Amino acid sequence: MNPGKDYFSGVAGSYAEYRPRYPAALVDLLADLAPRREVAWDAGCGSGQLSVALAERFARVIATDASEQQLAQATVHPRVEYRRAGAEASGIPSATVDLATAAQAVHWFDRPAYYQEVRRVCRPGALIALVTYNLLRITPELDRIIDHFYWQTIWQYWPPERRLVETGYRTLDFPFAELPAPPLEMRAEWTLPHLLGFVGTWSALRGLERDRGGSLIEAFARELSGAWGAAETRRPVRWELAVRLGRVS
């Protein structure tokens, strides 16, 4: 990971609790395209949202992250081995990996170094999958409130790497033989406190709080509450997933 690009260690507990889980359809796609299902490497794994899902289809998952705090919050699974390591220097033996993944993470990496590491650790013909998601969708009224907060209130506080997420990784450098990816999405059912917990993990909020205090965040929460209704009402939430798939030669 690029030096100084750790935006999430300070919110590792909230990240583990409030970030969404990846769908089985994504894991099935990756398992079906991988040449084998022996070893998957999940770089920038955070608290293991994708790592644990991959363990349902792969015999072994090596999940790496540079943040000790994130790994301390990771979900334990008998087929997932968590390691503290950067995506650019995983410590994995050469030519042993069948699938290399990075979910909501590769935009933070030193990508040339990461891609070199992918080529080193992967077997010939292995699959690389880079996954991201942008804004969640709930209802038109709630979407309008969230979009205004994102684009008008906090947009200037997002690190520049966020632009890659906003384009669905379409502008990301990707030096692999690319494969088509079908439409995919994540789904959840959340209460209002869970939604606010998720927003609290956004890296841009630290800059907003530093420069302008908490009043704008509080106003956003009040507006959401007025549109949500009873706080414990569970509402369907969805995110479109963007996936770049490629073969490692």
pLDDT of residue 30: 98
Six token digits for residue 133: 């998601």
The Cα 16–Cα 43 span in angstroms is 16
Q: Please give the C-alpha separations between residue 180 and each of 17, 34, 195, 243, 247, in angstroms, as whole numbers.
A: 32, 14, 32, 9, 11
Mean pLDDT, residues 142-160 taken together: 96
- Bridge-based pairing state of the strands 80-84 and 60-65: parallel
If pLDDT is split at 50, 70 and 90, which confidence band does 2 have?
Answer: very low
Residue type present at position 85: A
Tokens of 67: 């943040």
Please check the confidence at residue 203 and state whether its pLDDT lies above 90.
no
Residue 18, pLDDT score: 87
CB 55 within 8 A of CB 80: yes
Reported pTM: 0.91
d(CA 248, CA 125): 5
For the chain, domains (ranges, CATH) are 9-248 (3.40.50.150)
Split at pLDDT 50, 70, 90, the class of 15 is: low
Please give the torsion angle defined by the CA atoms of residues 163, 165, 171 and 174, in that order, rounded to the nearest 10 degrees: 130
pLDDT at position 12 is 52
- Kindly tell me if the per-residue pLDDT of 190 is higher than 70: yes
